[in-house]
Structure 1
Amino acid sequence: MTLKRYDDILFDADDTLFDYKKAEAAALKKTLAYFGHEYTHDIQTEYRSINQNLWNELESQKITVAELQFERFKLLFAKIGIRENADEFNSHYLNELADGAQLITGARQLCDDLSQSCRLTIVTNGISRTQRRRFEKSVIHKDFAALFISGDIGFQKPQTELFDYVFNALNISDKNRVLMVGDNLSTDILGGINAGIETCWFNCNEVVNQTKIKANFEIRSLDELRKIVFPDQIR
């Protein structure tokens, strides 16, 4: 019998299982085309920077989700010099983004394998209608017992209230048997640490950790997670 270290594995969604950068680029390109504008990599880079800064503010509870959705395109339009209604643009963009179910390399096989022995759950910060549709369109949705989206719950990673909600919903009593896996130190890993569970940092870009946030494990590819979950398979 193969011994497992965890009963429950909580996964972040974007840039952990789902290739958000590909989905984002495709959605922005299609939305710009719909409104009659040309897509360039410079626009993509500018948007990504603006969007990330606003998400950081959201995670620090400085702005709301509604403000984020409006401001990111208002700021982008001002930067690249086009005139469009930010709300209308955002609405179309979210519809396009919801079709983006591209996966990170190795995610499909990993989820299929782990789901045979562990209960898998996604815990994601994001906009409900977009994240839910992306999840439902993906080939890995069958491997997961539940999907928890911050937009539905009213709390977001790294807030302990979100994790408490998840633990209660899943009837988790032994936190020693739970692992949080994610790519973001300040949300996924810090959130897991604050919630009292072990964490695994998916660091596929080999970023140097210059923070005080330390995960229990660090992996560069999703395949490495198997050795953590099933330590007796290590040779």
Structure 2
Amino acid sequence: MRYKNLIFDADHTLINYTADERDALKRIFEEIGLKFSDKMLDRCCYLSEFTWTETGLYDVKNERIQREYHNLYKTHLDLLFTRIFTEFPCSFSPIRAGELLLKYLKDGTNSISHAEETIKKLKTEKGYNIYIATNGLIDIQVGRLKRFAPYLDGLFISEELKEIKPNPLFFKKILERLNCTVKECLMIGDSLLSDIAGADGVGMDSCWFNPKSKENQSGTKPRYEIKDLTDLLQIL
């Protein structure tokens, strides 16, 4: 085996965050008695993406964002529901709605196609150590990743590491805990900025999960590129 440790990103690589968020929004609206439609949910998901961008959470190379990332995540939720309840009038507290979203995200069950079967085969048939490394909050991510627990050798969450991808310190802390070299690890993720550039920053090989065949304009070249997670079974 070229590698000993496979390190996967979570959201949009193994977990379908968009679908989980949509399901969580439905549960909130049902609970507070706010009528909704598919069109309204589409709008709410758009507002979530807009607010995420506006809050700076995509700008993960920015040192201020890296320092404040986890607090900004909660700020994003407050702004999101303030906007939602302005467009779709409701007296429910935006802060409380944000807390409910975090609660219901933990129950998410939407995986990326072939995620669980691929992880299982890489672990049980090919003998790799399987890890997940994700930017996020401990309480949410642990719950959402339970479906992969039987095959995981470890889970690294930015809130616990106190660093986020792509900061080299995030990856160095993982290497220290695994007591291994970069040559023994492969980072697999959908984000050129967080996953691929982050791995490249410490000299770690990477695999870009690119299901929509996006053009790579990042200036960072992964060692591998795949469209489907099952492609890993062929290249590893």
- 3-state DSSP of counterpart to 2:111: coil
Instruction: Select the residue among 203, 208, 212 that pairs with 2:210.
Output: 203
Distance 1:13 1:64, change over 3 A: closer
Contact map agreement 1:58 1:65 (CA 8 A) in 2: no
Corresponding residue number in structure 1 for 2:222? 215
Q: TM-score, normalised by structure 1?
A: 0.88
Distance 1:59 1:99, change over 3 A: farther
Please tell me whether residue 73 in structure 1 is matched to residue 78 in structure 2. Answer: yes
Q: Where do 5+ consecutive residues of structure 2 fail to align?
A: none
Deviations 1:35-55 (A, max 9, x none): 332332222222233224432
Please tell me whether residue 178 in structure 1 is matched to residue 188 in structure 2. Answer: no
Contact map agreement 1:135 1:141 (CA 8 A) in 2: yes
Corresponding residue number in structure 2 for 1:125? 135
* Amino acid of the structure 1 residue aligned with 2:235: I
Contact map agreement 1:70 1:90 (CA 8 A) in 2: no
Instruction: Select the residue among 159, 163, 172 that pairs with 1:155.
Output: 163
Structure 1 residue 148, shift from structure 2 partner: 0.5
Instruction: Select the residue among 215, 226, 229 that pairs with 2:233.
Output: 226
Corresponding residue number in structure 2 for 1:7? 4
Structure 1 residue 32, shift from structure 2 partner: 2.6
Corresponding residue number in structure 1 for 2:13? 16
Q: TM-score, normalised by structure 2?
A: 0.87
Name the CA distance, whole Å, in 1 between partners of 2:60 and 2:77.
12
Instruction: Select the residue among 2, 20, 25 that pairs with 2:22.
Output: 25
* Amino acid of the structure 1 residue aligned with 2:23: A
Name the CA distance, whole Å, in 2 between partners of 1:57 and 1:157.
11
Corresponding residue number in structure 2 for 1:42? 43
Q: Where do 5+ consecutive residues of structure 1 fail to align?
A: 230-235
Corresponding residue number in structure 1 for 2:97? 89
* Amino acid of the structure 2 residue aligned with 1:111: I
- 3-state DSSP of counterpart to 1:88: helix
Contact map agreement 1:50 1:76 (CA 8 A) in 2: no
- 3-state DSSP of counterpart to 1:218: strand
What RMSD in Å do the two structures reach over aligned CA positions? 1.8
- 3-state DSSP of counterpart to 1:94: helix
Structure 1 residue 75, shift from structure 2 partner: 4.5
Structure 1 residue 222, shift from structure 2 partner: 0.5
Deviations 1:213-232 (A, max 9, x none): 22111100001112221xxx
Larger deviation, residues 149-158 vs 48-57: 48-57
- 3-state DSSP of counterpart to 1:181: strand
Corresponding residue number in structure 2 for 1:232? none
Structure 1 residue 169, shift from structure 2 partner: 0.9
Name the CA distance, whole Å, in 2 between partners of 1:75 and 1:27.
14
Distance 1:104 1:75, change over 3 A: closer
Distance 1:35 1:194, change over 3 A: same
Across the two proteins, how many residue pairs are aligned to each other?
223
Structure 1 residue 58, shift from structure 2 partner: 5.6
Distance 1:162 1:204, change over 3 A: same
Corresponding residue number in structure 2 for 1:233? none
- 3-state DSSP of counterpart to 1:115: helix
Distance 1:25 1:175, change over 3 A: same
Structure 1 residue 196, shift from structure 2 partner: 1.2
